[in-house]
Amino acid sequence: MAALPSLPAELASADLAAGSVTLTVDAEVYPLDAVFAAAFTFLRECWVVVDRAGAARWAIALTPKTATAEPAALEAMVGGFANELLSCAYRHRLAKDNRATVEAVTNAALAGALGPPTLDELEDFDFSNEAFEDPLGIAQSWEDKYGKKAKATDAAPADAAPSDAGDEEAP
């Protein structure tokens, strides 16, 4: 196996006699689904074999379907595969991280597509205004919880009787 000049020897090696190149990647960084997705995009131009290369590594062997086995062509092919593998691993991570959001949006879209409830469903629905338990006080409005601030002009109501303190005459 020969090393490719632009790639680290521990990651990629070429077999010029067989006309193939092998890329070895970390299974924790590149999940199997990402490896399969990247391999799928290269099926038209080369034969792809995915195998384990130890407990936590994947070995991906690429052999071109054409007869060219020049080092530059093999290097370009494995470089393109490495770029596609990185892209697929990133898309896999985004899909995993955003799964809950995608499911929520999908459920909302499907629920909206069901249309309005039927009369039987409305008949079974409880429309009572019974209070529900709210031990944390989350359902209270701001005014109920903290009180509405009084304006300076609202300090003394207009219909209140004047105080008797100013009505007394001095002796």
Cα 142-144-150 angle, rounded to 5 deg: 80
Phi/psi for 70 (5° steps) reads: -75, 145
Q: How confident is the model at residue 94 (pLDDT cuts 50, 70, 90)?
A: very high
Length reported for the chain: 171
When pLDDT is cut at 50, 70 and 90, the band that residue 54 belongs to is confident
Q: Which two tokens stand for residue 99?
A: 């799964």
Structure tokens at 69: 């086995």
The model's pTM is 0.60
Q: Is the dihedral of CA 85, 91, 97, 99 positive or negative?
A: negative
Q: What percent of the chain has pLDDT over 90?
A: 37
Residue 6 DSSP label: T
Confidence bin at 163 (pLDDT 50/70/90): low
Each residue of 135-160: b (16+ CB within 10 Å) or e? eeeeeeeeeeeeeeeeeeeeeeeeee
